[in-house]
Amino acid sequence: MPQLSVVTGGAGFLGSHLCDRLVAMGHHVVALDDLSSGHMSHVQQLASHPRFELRGHDVVQSWPLGLDGATRVFNLACLASPASYQRQPVQTTLTSAVGMWRVLEAAQHSGARVLQASTSEVYGDPEVHPQAETYHGLVNPIGPRSCYDEGKRVAEAMCFAYHRERKAPVRLVRIFNSYGPRLRPGDGRVVSNFIVQALRGQPLTIYGDGQQTRSFCYVDDTVEGILRMMEADIEGPINIGNPVEHTVLKLAEYVLRLTGSRSRLERRPLPPDDPKKRCPDISRAKHHLQWEPRVSLEDGLRETIAYFRSELANERLAA
């Protein structure tokens, strides 16, 4: 009988790719999503599959019935784009904190192992570089990003509280700047922003001097790391990200070259609490998961640009 896996946020960017992989591996998959940032189109390729089900559900609410047989729960539910979570800070905080509690309570009844998708944002604007899992971070608890940063930190604390007190089987990954097809136009993430702006001939928005760095990990590599972590013999946390660091200006150069766009760069002030550097130490992932990213930034951007070309062409046809 196929293993039952639940993916919260299963119609989102990362969650939908994870659902694809789990179904391909033979799992029966139930995706839970309130579609606040996910989209039905992300899982349309699975809609008629006999081992896939999408249920509308907000993880802040009571756990839905009929999932007692689940053996794996991947908790990916949360707004992840800065533009979205800063518009809905209360819901974002509740999704991370209360949603994590709901997931852990449900898993206690079924005996399921829970993987929490945390984030590099728990490191805040780091004073240590690159960031190892032993670094406790520098986060502003009342800043405009705190609903996400601190929400994820609370979710991590909840996981390990359940693990210590109730022996809950938990796994924790900290994801660094995942990108790829199914990102949404206008979601505020730098990769999708740049690509959409370049394809539309609009100026590419550079915040600050553009020298701040990010480490971009293609979605297929991220999903592989998540899957390996779920089956690993370590609770974590473990960083899942690409240790190759790029400035925002360098990313803009890649996007302009690969799209053939002549868009200019437009400077704007750096938002409050925006991290100046972001790069994972993935020593633990290499040792415990035998994992490291395989897809180069250039190859991953080509796939992502092709996706957005198709999406924007469909928008024009529908207009």
We report the CATH number of the domain holding residue 169 as 3.40.50.720
Residue 193 included in any domain: no
CB atoms within 10 A of CB 75: 28
Predicted local confidence at residue 317, as pLDDT: 59
Q: Which of 148, 162, 179, 218 is catalytic?
A: 148
Residue 252 included in any domain: no
Predicted local confidence at residue 69, as pLDDT: 87
Global model pTM greater than 0.85: yes
Query: For 136, what's the count of Cα atoms within 13 Å in the CB-facing half-sphere?
Result: 1
Per the structure block, which two tokens stand in for 100? 């994590």
Residue 204 included in any domain: no
Residue 164 included in any domain: yes
What is the block-wise mean pLDDT of the chain (319 residues), using blocks of 10 residues?
91 97 97 93 95 96 85 94 84 95 93 96 94 95 91 97 97 97 88 96 93 95 98 97 96 97 92 86 98 97 96 71
Residue 23 included in any domain: yes
Amino acid at 32: L
Q: How many domains does the chain have?
A: 1
Residue 261 included in any domain: no
Predicted local confidence at residue 254, as pLDDT: 97
Residue 135 is part of which domain span? 4-180+217-243+278-294
Shortest CA distance to 280 belongs to which of 150, 136, 130, 166?
Answer: 130
Q: Which residue in this structure is represented by tokens 């299963």? A: 10
Residue 123 included in any domain: yes
Cα separation, 32 vs 44, in Å, equals 14
Predicted local confidence at residue 284, as pLDDT: 98
Q: Is 148 a catalytic residue?
A: yes
Q: Based on C-alpha coordinates, what's the Rg of the chain?
A: 19
Residue 257 included in any domain: no
Question: What's the start-to-end Cα distance of the chain, in Å?
Answer: 46
Predicted local confidence at residue 1, as pLDDT: 66
